[in-house]
Amino acid sequence: MAGIETYRSDALMVGFDGSDDAGVFALSEEIALVESVDFITPIVEDPFVYGQIASANALSDIFAMGGVPKTAMNLLMWDKEHISQEMVREILRGGSERLEEAKVSLVGGHSVNDLEQKYGLSVSGVVHPQKIWRNCSGQIGDALVLSKPLGSGILASALKGNKVKFDKDLEGVVSMVMLNQKASEVARGFEIHACTDVTGFGLIGHLREMCSEDKSAMIEVERVPLMAGVLELIAMGIVPNGSLQNHRYLESSVQCEKEIAGQIALFDAQTSGGLLFALPKRQADGLVDALKRAGYARSAVIGEFVAKREKTIILG
């Protein structure tokens, strides 16, 4: 979109010119519209679970803005050569199951024939104009809390390569299916200064987006939760290309203060990852406790924002 001019209403509060998770448009002094769209290729062999993950992934952007999703539209790119009508119905059923849990109304959608299967959602929600969570509004001294473990990209590669047998009870699968809804609801009881969901750019990429010109992020690597088996898969050389690309693109922004085993996990491209919150340190442990009570068992304080340093991300 560089160099392409678009109309910008005075009511547009958050547009695509930043790096936020969704757009926000003020409808009144009390209500703003939050909009996002996302779709993914299959990452598990079970079509119903794939639909669940794709739906949870698309809804996450609204939760990351502090919003409440209200309506959604299916986006289906159907690979008819390899995906049967019965499988497509299971994909859509999985997506609808997540919408039902989130109390989001499906209002339609669009489908096209494609050479590669893709499914996702366009989602609309609401938020109070004064209660929007931006990803870039954290403060120096804020603690960083992550609600879900990392490693879904690596796990997906292992599943595709038959290095791990698919099981809907795998920690990584359970994590990707789980909505970020309760995490967002719980966090509204705390003084959240900034929030984002950890997806395709990995933890490091999304952290860099959260850092403005006045601050860097200090991460305590030992406290970052990883999905079971991820370090072993990394040792086997199972790392997706997207995660390697993230590392190449972002490594110049990172300072490592010690040798870190499995460092690539911090760059791993996530699908339906957790929410990353910035809030006052005095409230961080309370948020983690509340998240765990809400079902996010691996949530943890993983670091803090510090005054700007030579590098944007410091791994210690």
Structure tokens at 223: 């406290």
Categorize the per-residue pLDDT at 173 as very low, low, confident or very high, splitting at 50, 70 and 90.
Answer: very high
Percent residues over pLDDT 90 in the chain = 95
**What is the pLDDT, as a whole number, of residue 19?**
87
Locate the domains of the chain by residue range: 12-127, 142-315
Q: Which sign, positive or negative, has the C-alpha torsion 221, 208, 292, 105?
A: negative
Percent residues over pLDDT 70 in the chain = 100
Structure tokens at 48: 């119903």
- CA–CA dist 71, 105 (Å, integer): 5
Categorize the per-residue pLDDT at 293 as very low, low, confident or very high, splitting at 50, 70 and 90.
Answer: very high
* Rg, the chain, Cα only: 19
Inter-CA distances, 19 with 60, 65, 146, 263, Å: 15, 12, 19, 24
Decide if pLDDT at 17 tops 90.
no
**What is the pLDDT, as a whole number, of residue 292?**
98
Summarize pLDDT for 27-84 with one digit per residue, the tens: 999 999 999 999 999 999 999 999 999 999 999 999 999 999 999 999 999 999 999 9
Asked if 97 and 52 count as a contact pair (C-beta separation under 8 A), the reply is: yes
Structure tokens at 215: 């601050």
- CA–CA dist 142, 146 (Å, integer): 13
**What is the pLDDT, as a whole number, of residue 245?**
97
Categorize the per-residue pLDDT at 260 as very low, low, confident or very high, splitting at 50, 70 and 90.
Answer: confident
**What is the pLDDT, as a whole number, of residue 93?**
98
Categorize the per-residue pLDDT at 90 as very low, low, confident or very high, splitting at 50, 70 and 90.
Answer: very high
Q: What is the pTM assigned to this prediction?
A: 0.95
Decide if pLDDT at 18 tops 90.
no
Categorize the per-residue pLDDT at 229 as very low, low, confident or very high, splitting at 50, 70 and 90.
Answer: very high
Mean pLDDT, the chain, rounded, equals 96
241-250 helix and 152-160 helix, angle to the nearest 10 degrees: 150
**What is the pLDDT, as a whole number, of residue 212?**
79
**Stretch 215-237: mean pLDDT, rounded?**
96
**What is the pLDDT, as a whole number, of residue 238?**
95
CATH code of the domain made up of 12-127? 3.30.1330.10
In words, the CATH class of domain 142-315 is alpha beta
